[in-house]
Chains A and B, each alone.
Chain A
Amino acid sequence: MRINCPCCGERSLEEFTYLGDARKTRPAGDAAADVWVDYVYLRENPGGRHSEFWYHGSGCQSWLVVERDMTTHAIFGVKFARDAAIAAVVHTS
């Protein structure tokens, strides 16, 4: 698998580490307990497109959000997680 890092270009899997589901946003400190349980423990795990955090640890050390198909491994897009995070904040506020 090769991930096209928006900073470094296309690189092989071994440069990256995987974290998981990127659709989640960290709840506010005062959110209800079950919201936190959901955030920490429950996962989307779909058969198709999955949005996920990857860390380019052997490259630019950026956290990325990769849109990838869990069944075919096809990658649809890669962006900086920082931008995704900012976009999410803008979107919800």
Chain B
Amino acid sequence: MANPQSAPSLAAVSAVAALTAPAPHGNIGVAISEIVPSIVSLAARAGHQADLAAAIAASAGATLPPPGHISHSADLSFLGVAPGRWFVIAPPAPPALLEFTLRQALGAYATLTDQTDGRAVLRINGPAAVATLAKLVPLDLHPSVFGAGRVAQTIASHINIMIWRNGAGQSFDIAVFRGFALSFAESLIASAAEFGVSFTPNLEGPAP
């Protein structure tokens, strides 16, 4: 039997590790970076919507938002994506920690699935963010329509994505299924190129 002490610990690798960052040129109209939040999908068990809402209010101090909207607690964001379904987003953490924590808190009322590794998330910042995204995202991102606290799932460049606005400014996060991350990032960088673009990988990589 092998010695457990000798078992190698596994290194995490970014979904866009293979991306070659564009050569910097001129102004940076769009800064793209990879972020690695924890993501868990959350749904109410049949007949327990109210219990779930109450449990979230009690444990996280947040209200569950309707689809298309985001609510926040101190550390968590709740992204409404479908009737009775949310994504919970939290700062980077080891796999399953968020799912585990939520399970403790929400127990019998919730269906939870860790999605952290299923998605890659890119952050798009800068004055040309909206102009860049117009080439990819078929949504009206005008602040009057998609302002602070808005989230949507849609299709961009043939790839299903989830997009939300960070705060009220020109900053957006986009989550894609991990296998598409490289393809999507390439399209994103190509779309941003005319405005001047930079890319910052997540150097630490995802949390181990």
Contacts and interface: CB of A to CB of B under 8 A. Distances in A.
A and B touch in the complex (CB under 8 A): yes
Interface of A: 7-9, 11-12, 14-15, 57-62, 80
B83 A58 contact: no
Contacts of A11: 138, 154
Contacts of A7: 67-68, 82-83
Contacts of B85: 60
A58 B67 contact: no
Contacts of A12: 138
A60 B154 contact: no
B158 to A, nearest CB: 9
Contact of A80 (B81, B83, B153, B154): B83
B155 interface: yes
Given A11-B154, A59-B154, A60-B85, 13 more contacts: A7-B67, A8-B68, A8-B153, A9-B68, A12-B138, A14-B138, A14-B155, A15-B155, A57-B160, A58-B155, A58-B160, A60-B82, A62-B82
Nearest to A6: B83
Most buried by A among B85, B138, B155: B155
A12 B137 CA distance: 11
Interface residues of B, number: 12
Nearest to B67: A7
Contacts of B138: 11-12, 14
Q: Nearest 8 pairs between A and B by C-beta?
A: A60-B82, A58-B155, A7-B67, A58-B160, A59-B153, A15-B155, A12-B138, A7-B83
A20 to B, nearest CB: 22
A8 B155 contact: no
Nearest to A58: B155
Contact of B81 (A9, A14, A57, A60): A60
12 contacts: A7-B82, A8-B154, A9-B68, A57-B160, A58-B153, A59-B152, A60-B67, A60-B82, A60-B153, A61-B82, A62-B82, A80-B83
A59 B85 CA distance: 12
Interface string B37-71: 00000000000000000000000000000011000
A88 B160 CA distance: 32
Contacts of B67: 7-8, 60
A61 B81 CA distance: 9
A74 B160 CA distance: 27
A15 B162 CA distance: 13
A59 B67 CA distance: 11
B83 A62 contact: yes
Interface string B7-41: 00000000000000000000000000000000000
A55 to B, nearest CB: 12
B82 A15 contact: no
A73 B200 CA distance: 46
